[in-house]
Structure 1
Amino acid sequence: MRDFLPADKARRERVLATIRERYRAHGFDEIETPVVEDYARLHAGIGGDNEKLAFNVLKRGLDADALRAAAGSDDATPDTALDVAALSDLGLRYDLTVPLARFYASHRAELPTVFRAIQIAPVWRAERPQKGRYRQFVQCDIDIIGDASARAEAELIVATLDAVDALGLEGATVRINDRRALDWMLDHFGFAEAERPGVLITIDKLDKIGVDGVLAELRDRGATSAAVDALEAFLRRPQTLELRAFGEGSIRTALPDGAPDEIVDHLVALGDAVGVARGIPQPYFTLPIAFDPFLVRGMGYYTGTIFELAHPSVDYSLGGGGRYDGMIGRFLGQDVPAVGFSIGFERIVDLLEGESDAGAPAIVLVHDRDVPVAELAALKAAFVAEGSRVRLEQRTKNLKALLERASADGYNSFATVPAGATRDALEIKPLD
C-alpha cells in the first residue's frame, strides 16, 4: 500500500480521466460500491485463489469467549489456529466483479435490460509486494450484463482498445479464447473431468516453460498418459502455436478437427464486430486481436469467451476478462449473462511514466514578502478565471530550487509579483 507524491497523483488522475472518458464515450455508466462485502459472499468459491488473499474484517465487540469458541477450545493459546469464518463477517473486496454481481442482484429493477457498467476503484489483496503487484491497487472495469451475444464482448474489446489508444500505447493486442473450447479440447484429448483443473494450470504455463515443460509437468503429475500423448501430437503441429488472422479458417486451423460450430461461430461473430468497429476490412490481417487456443485465465467463474490485453513492450498482460454467466445467479436465483474486461491500471501507469500535462496552463506566482494578501488573492483569482492552475510561492533565496520543485509538480510557467503589480503588467516566463 503506497503513498503518492503530488506529481505521481496528478499523472495517475490524468490516466484515469482518459480511461473514464473513453469508456463513457462507448455508452458505459459509472457506479460505486462499498469497499467491504459480506465474508460469505467473498468466500463463496467464485474468486479462485484471490479468496485466499482477502483481507477479512473481524466482527465488532469480540470477547475472550468468542475467541475461545473460534479456536474450538477453552484452553486456547496464542498459537491456536482460529476459525476465521467464525470471527469475520466482512472483508475488503479483492476485485470488482463480485461486488458488481451483488450490486446488480440488489438493483436489477432500477437498471436497463442490458446494463453497461464502469467501476474504477481500489481493491485489496494480501499479496507479496513486488513491481506490478501491490496490496492496494486500482482496477478499471467495464462490464455488460444482460447480453449473451458476441456483441457484448466486441463492445468491451473495442472500448478497451480505444482507451489504450487514447493513452498512446500503440501496438496493444487482445488475445482471445473460449473456456468452452478449452473444455472441449481436453475432452477431445481424453483428460478425465476431475483432472482438468490441474491440467489447465499446467497449460497456462505454456508461454513460460514451453511445450516440453508442459508435457513433462503433466506426466510428472500423473495425468492420463494417452491424453498427454494426444496433446503432444497436437502441440507439435507447426500451425498450432501460431497466432493468426482472426477468422473462421484461422480459428478452425488452431483447434483440433471437429470443434463445435456454436463456439467457432461465436468467436467469428466477435471478430467481425471488432473489425467493423475498428474500420478494418476483412480478412482482418491488421486486426489487433488474435485467437489463442491455450489462453486459460485463472478465475474459475469464467463460462465462455476469455481475453487478455498484451503490449509488445512487456511480457505480462495489461488486463483481462471474460464471460461469467453463472455468477449473478448465485445472488439473484436465476442466471443472467455477464461479461467484463478489466485494465490493469498499475501496470498501465508504469508504462506511461513520461506522461505529462505540459499543455495545460499552470503558473507559479512568486511574490515578495511585502505584497499585500488582497493583491495576491486578486491576481490568483484572475489567472484561475482564465482557466489556469495557480500556485502562490513566497520568494526564497534559492529561487532556482523553488522553480525546479514547481516544474516537477507539473507547473510550466512563472511570474514574479512585486507589490502593486497588475495582471497585465506581469511578465510570464516558461519553466524549462
Structure 2
Amino acid sequence: MKMDNSPARGTRDLLPATVAVRDHVLARITEVYHRYGYQRIETPALENIERLQGGQGGENEKLIYRVLRRGLDEVVAAETRLDDLVDLGLRYDLTVPLTRFYGNNQASLPQPFRSFQFGPVWRAERPQKGRYRQFYQCDIDMLGEESVLAEVELIEATTEALAAAGLDGATVRVSDRRFLSALAQAAGLPEQAWTGLFITLDKLDKIGWEGVRAELPGRGLDTAQIDRLQETITGLRGVDPAKLGDRLAEAVPDLPDEVVADLAGTADALRALDGLDWEFDPTLVRGMGYYTGQIFEITHPAAAGSVAGGGRYDRLIGRSLGRDVPACGFSIGFERIVDLIEGAGSRAAVAVLYEADVPLPTVVGSARELRRDGRTVSPIRRRGKLGAQLGRLTEWGFTSVVHLRADGPTEERPLESR
C-alpha cells in the first residue's frame, strides 16, 4: 500500500520562498517590539487539559486537540468517558499559557512585565482558504499595568510593527466590553442574554441593520428596544474622538464614570499619535470570554477580517496566581499578514556557478569573498544547458550569478539581464 506523503489535513509544508517572507515579517515585528521593551518568552505547546477547558477561551475550547494519557491499553472499556482518557491538550492560543507562565514566574519578572511571544497554536478548524489547523500567533502583553497606558502602548507598538513589516493603510477599531454590558443592560436584557446580543451586533458589518433587526427579536428585544439600541449605536459611530467621553456619557447614562474616563483617556492619547487611523466602534465585540475592559482590532482593506486583535483581561491571571492582575494583550494574525505582504523578504542572493574542473579551494574562496558584504552566497555546480540552469536559479530566488571556470571567474551579473 502506497503511503500518503501529503501533509496532515489543515496543515501545510512551507517552501523556502515562503519562509523567507515569514522570516522578514517576523524580523521587522520583533525589532519594533524590542524597542518598546517587550521581552521574548516561550511556553510549551502542551498544557493541562483542565486549564485549556477553563471556560475562558470561548468557542476555541470546542476546537482543542486533546492528547491521550500515556500508558493506556490499546482497547479501553466500553462507556469510558473521554475525560478519563485525556490529560493534556495542544494550546489554541498564547494567552492562556501566558497566564500560567506569569503565575509561576511573576516573582522574578519586572513590573509591569512586557511579554512577547511567537509560536504555533492548534485548532481543529474546518480547513479552508486562509484557515489552518496549525498556524502561528505573534502576541505582546503588558501584565501589571492598570492604567490605559497599556492599551495605548499596545496599539502604538503593534501598528508600528505592522508598518515596519510592510503593511500600510490599516485602521484600528476600539471599544470596551464594559460599554457593551451597559448597552445590553440599558436595552433591558437580563445578563444571561447579553452574549446573544453581542453575537448579533458583531454581524452588523456583514448583514447590515436589516439583518441585525431581524435577529434581535429572537434575542428578547421588542421593536421599541431595538429602535433605541439602533439609535444609540448609530449615534456613536464616527464620533469625534475629542468628544468621545461626553458622547458616551450622554448615550449610555448608566455607563460607569471609570469606563468613560478610560475610553476618553485612550482617545486623547491615540489622537496624539501621528498617522494613526483609528475609530471608536460600538459594535466591536471580540469573541474571547476573558476580556474585561477595552478591546481593539486592526483591519485592512485587503483582508476579509481583522489582521490583529486584543484587549484587557484583568481576571484571567487570578486563576493561576490566586489574585487578579491587570493584563492587556494584542495578537497579530501572523498568517494573514504574510499573505498580504507580497515580495517581502527578498534580498541579494548570489549563485557561484562553478565548472567541474574548478578546484574546490577556488570555489569556497570565491563564495567567502562575496559573503563579506552580507549577501547570501551559494556555490552550485554547473550542469546541463546554461540557459535552463540560469532560469532555475532565478526561480529559486537568486538575483545574480558568478560563473567560475578553470581559467578564472567572469564578472558577477544580474540574472535578469541574461
Cα pair distance change 1:152/1:345, threshold 3 Å: same
8 Å CA contact 2:352, 2:404 repeated in 1: yes
Q: Given the alignment, which residue of 259, 262, 265 partners 2:258? A: 262
Structure 2 counterpart of 1:229: 224
Alpha-carbon distance in 2 for matches of 1:365, 1:160: 40
Q: Is 1:349 paired with 2:338?
A: yes
Moved more, 360-369 or 378-387: 378-387
Q: Given the alignment, which residue of 328, 333, 336 partners 1:339? A: 328
8 Å CA contact 1:240, 1:253 repeated in 2: no
Alignment of 1:220-369 (within 5 A): 221-225=218-222, 229-236=224-231, 239-240=234-235, 242-249=237-244, 252=247, 256-258=251-253, 259-276=255-272, 278=273, 280=274, 287-357=276-346, 360-369=347-356
Deviations 1:351-399 (A, max 9, x none): 1123242xx4320011111112222122222222332211111112233
Structure 2 counterpart of 1:76: none
Instruction: For residue 251 of structure 2, give the secondary structure of its aligned residue in structure 1.
Output: coil
Alpha-carbon distance in 1 for matches of 2:283, 2:360: 67
Q: Is 1:102 paired with 2:100?
A: yes
Moved more, 116-125 or 346-355: 346-355
Alignment of 1:106-117 (within 5 A): 106-117=104-115
Alpha-carbon distance in 2 for matches of 1:412, 1:270: 47
Please report how far the alpha carbon of residue 84 of structure 1 lies from its aligned counterpart in structure 2 after TM superposition: 2.4
Deviations 1:104-139 (A, max 9, x none): 001011101200010011101010111221101110
Structure 2 counterpart of 1:391: 378
8 Å CA contact 2:117, 2:140 repeated in 1: yes
Structure 2 counterpart of 1:209: 207
Amino acid at match of 2:376: R
Alpha-carbon distance in 1 for matches of 2:380, 2:350: 10
Amino acid at match of 2:331: S
Please report how far the alpha carbon of residue 239 of structure 1 lies from its aligned counterpart in structure 2 after TM superposition: 4.4
8 Å CA contact 1:240, 1:254 repeated in 2: no
Q: Given the alignment, which residue of 343, 346, 362 partners 1:375? A: 362
Structure 1 counterpart of 2:84: 86
Q: Kindly report the root-mean-square deviation, in angstroms, between the aligned alpha carbons of the 2 structures.
A: 2.0
8 Å CA contact 1:179, 1:303 repeated in 2: yes
Cα pair distance change 1:238/1:217, threshold 3 Å: closer
Amino acid at match of 2:216: L
Taking structure 1 as the reference length, the TM-score comes to 0.89
Alpha-carbon distance in 1 for matches of 2:250, 2:86: 46
Number of residue pairs the alignment of both structures matches:
405
Amino acid at match of 1:39: I
Amino acid at match of 2:300: H
Alpha-carbon distance in 2 for matches of 1:100, 1:249: 33
Instruction: For residue 240 of structure 1, give the secondary structure of its aligned residue in structure 2.
Output: helix
Please report how far the alpha carbon of residue 255 of structure 1 lies from its aligned counterpart in structure 2 after TM superposition: 6.8
Alpha-carbon distance in 2 for matches of 1:141, 1:113: 18
Cα pair distance change 1:336/1:396, threshold 3 Å: same
Structure 2 counterpart of 1:40: 50
Cα pair distance change 1:368/1:145, threshold 3 Å: same
Amino acid at match of 2:265: A
Q: Is 1:431 paired with 2:415?
A: yes
Instruction: For residue 376 of structure 1, give the secondary structure of its aligned residue in structure 2.
Output: helix
Deviations 1:328-373 (A, max 9, x none): 001111000101000101111111123242xx43200111111122
Alpha-carbon distance in 1 for matches of 2:244, 2:121: 41
Alignment of 1:116-265 (within 5 A): 116-219=114-217, 221-225=218-222, 229-236=224-231, 239-240=234-235, 242-249=237-244, 252=247, 256-258=251-253, 259-265=255-261
Instruction: For residue 208 of structure 2, give the secondary structure of its aligned residue in structure 1.
Output: helix
Amino acid at match of 1:328: I
Cα pair distance change 1:238/1:334, threshold 3 Å: closer
Alpha-carbon distance in 2 for matches of 1:113, 1:290: 30
Amino acid at match of 1:390: V
Structure 2 counterpart of 1:20: 30
Structure 1 unpaired stretches of 5+? 73-82, 281-285
Structure 1 runs (4+) deviating above 3 angstroms are 236-239, 248-251
Alpha-carbon distance in 1 for matches of 2:359, 2:155: 56
8 Å CA contact 1:234, 1:256 repeated in 2: no
8 Å CA contact 2:91, 2:121 repeated in 1: yes
Moved more, 201-210 or 137-146: 201-210
Q: Given the alignment, which residue of 48, 51, 59 partners 2:69? A: 59
Structure 2 unpaired stretches of 5+? 1-10
